[in-house]
Amino acid sequence: MNTLRNQVQLIGHLGQTPELKSFDNGVALMKAPLATNDYYKNNKGEKMQDTQWHNIIAWGKTAEYFKQAMDKGDEVAVKGKLVHRKYEDAQGNTRYVSEVVVSEFMKLGSK
């Protein structure tokens, strides 16, 4: 059951080209927004779409492979864990961020 702890699986489309950043120690970080869609019918019987945006990141070789394989609009399946962090912005305000740290991914389709 340990493998079920903090596990996230999403299928969606990339909202922009993945951004890759390399640090002085050689570690790479990839960031990208992922849109997932849910469809339902409202009380009038009309088909509705609800889009949720997720911040996804990846580290190391996974980040490098993701950047090479994926582009804006591509459909991707990601598996990872959900993390929350906080930081102070330039004005001194505390900001909170939720991200999915990708451990595995599979390209499903291109734009």
User: How many angstroms separate the CA atoms of 101 and 56, rounded?
Assistant: 6
Structural domains of the chain, ranges and CATH numbers in brackets? 2-109 (2.40.50.140)
From residue 86, give the alpha-carbon distance in Å to each of 53, 55, 63, 65.
Answer: 19, 14, 22, 27
Give residue 111's pLDDT. 67
Is-above-0.75 flag for pTM? yes
The single-letter code of the amino acid at 70 is M
User: How many angstroms separate the CA atoms of 10 and 53, rounded?
Assistant: 11
Q: Contact at 8 Å (CB) between 19 and 29? A: no
pLDDT tens, N- to C-terminus, the chain (111 residues): 666 789 999 999 999 999 999 999 999 999 999 999 999 999 999 999 999 999 999 999 999 999 999 999 999 999 999 999 999 999 999 999 999 999 999 999 876
The token pair at 19 is 């951004």
In a 13 Å sphere around the CA of 23, the CA atoms on its Cβ side amount to 8
- Measure CA 36 to chain center: 10
Give residue 1's pLDDT. 62
From residue 41, give the alpha-carbon distance in Å to each of 17, 37, 38, 50, 53.
Answer: 32, 13, 10, 11, 21
Give residue 109's pLDDT. 81
Give residue 83's pLDDT. 96
Continuous H helices in 5-94: 60-69
- Measure CA 67 to chain center: 13
